[in-house]
Amino acid sequence: MSRRGRRPAIRLRVHVEGQTEESFVNQVLAPHLYGHSFTDISARLLGNARQRTRRGGVKPWSTVRKEILNNLQGDPGCFVTTMVDYYGLPSGWPGRTQAQQRPLPERARTVEAELLDDVRQLMGRSFNPDRFVPYLMMHEFEAMLFSDCHRFADTIGRPNLASDLQAIRDQFDNPEEIDDSPQTAPSKRIERLVAGYQKPLSGTQAAQAIGLNAIRVACPHFDAWLDRLECLPSRVGP
């Protein structure tokens, strides 16, 4: 193929807070997005997570922002997004304090808008804001696994727990809202039912079994994020 007819490389960097999200991006999200014209997709653990004894946890915004800016400035042809947990954000993240006063469905969107505004200001007037797509999960990655409780239970080898998982799911309008304290986060609820639950391995396997389509139907905020990512290749440019 001639150089003129060659498709441009379309890269996506997904900044994640832990190993579970990293596995999900690399094994579930990336294969889907490669079908939407992306040519290179990779998850990046925030805050030098590989150098820490304990992985996971949301870093201060100053640390996260530096890594995001490094990607955007160092590679003008790439898009950048995030996949971090709103519930665990430090108070110093833009919009975090204001968001607590908003109705639950608006909280993540409130912070996302502030993150984009902060990055846009630092990148300058020529910056294409489509290149940065902040996304916050409301209450942990594991909330998405309640999108199909029967497939989740089957995948972890505990089909007898499907009704218990569904009972948790039925208490909320959608899986993204499952949580009301650190003791009742989605992963904590699962761990109480499933001794030895391994988040990165079991979570990714369950997400693969449930499938992105089912997750999108059950989780509207996740669906909106994925819809935006699918459209990014049509907006290639600095």
Does 49 share its domain with 97? Answer: yes
Q: Does some domain include residue 176?
A: yes
Q: List the domain range (segments joined by +) for residue 148.
A: 141-215
Does 180 share its domain with 199? Answer: yes
Does 91 share its domain with 176? Answer: no
Rounded Cα gap, residues 149 and 169, in angstroms: 8
DSSP conformation letters of 27-39: IIIHHHHHTTT-S
More confident residue, 185 or 48: 185
Does 92 share its domain with 191? Answer: no
Name which of 24, 211, 1, 2 is nearest 135 in CA terms: 24
DSSP reduced 3-state for 15: strand
Does 37 share its domain with 76? Answer: yes
Q: Sorting pLDDT into bands at 50, 70 and 90, what band is 49?
A: very low
**Residue 57: pLDDT over 80:** no
Rounded Cα gap, residues 43 and 23, in angstroms: 8
Alpha-helical segments (H) within 11-103: 19-24, 30-34, 61-74, 96-99
pTM: 0.89
Does 115 share its domain with 24? Answer: yes
Q: Does some domain include residue 168?
A: yes
pLDDT in tens, 77-106: 899 999 999 988 888 999 999 998 999 889
Neighbours of 7 (CB within 10 A): 10
**Residue 51: pLDDT over 50:** no
Do the beta carbons of residue 89 and residue 58 sit within 8 Å?
Answer: yes
Does 110 share its domain with 193? Answer: no
213: left (phi over 0), alpha (psi -120 to 50) or beta: alpha
Mean pLDDT along residues 7-14: 85
Mean pLDDT along residues 17-40: 94
Rounded Cα gap, residues 207 and 186, in angstroms: 14
Q: What is the pLDDT of residue 50?
A: 43
**Residue 218: pLDDT over 70:** yes
Q: Sorting pLDDT into bands at 50, 70 and 90, what band is 200?
A: confident
Name which of 15, 231, 11 is nearest 137 in CA terms: 15
Q: What is the pLDDT of residue 88?
A: 83
